[in-house]
Amino acid sequence: MAKISVQQRKYFVERIETSINEKINELKQANAAQVQALSDEAYEEYLKLLKVNKDMAKFEILDREWRELASKLSTVYADVRQSLGFNSYEANVPSVYSSSNYSDMRNGYRWLCGRTAAKNQHETPEGKVIKALEDKKRAAIDELHGVNELEG
């Protein structure tokens, strides 16, 4: 038996691996549907084996509840936002859309509360004084521009 060099051995090993791996990959592709069916069939037993089946069931319920609640909160947020006249979105405005935590929801609703309070600022004692001064200012400017002469 003739000896072969290290380089020749590497070459033959690579050829063998390449040719056999091609056939193995073909068989894996042909077997993929059967592997998936086996996986689907064994899934529930697998979860029991890992002792996470009850946790997964609970997670499914909580996930569904969370998504429903997040959807409701996002819808209410959008409705209030629109009623306040904020139709465009700015980078500095908190968003509750696609939110994954309470902090984002809280920040979004705090922002809405602040905007609502600002729109109703004339209900406070200081706000009433501000409104009266703004009305006087507007009336004085209208007088100077002769807007009152156009009435009637």
pLDDT of the residue at 1 = 64
What residue ranges do the domains of the chain occupy? 18-51, 53-119, 121-152
pLDDT of the residue at 149 = 62
pLDDT of the residue at 88 = 75
CB 107 within 8 A of CB 94: yes
pLDDT of the residue at 121 = 79
Q: Which two tokens stand for residue 106?
A: 């809280």
- pLDDT mean for each 10 residues of the chain (152 residues): 85 93 92 93 95 97 93 91 82 76 90 87 81 86 73 56
Query: pTM score, two decimals?
Result: 0.58
pLDDT of the residue at 84 = 87
Please state the separation of Cα 71 from the chain's center in Å: 11
pLDDT of the residue at 152 = 52
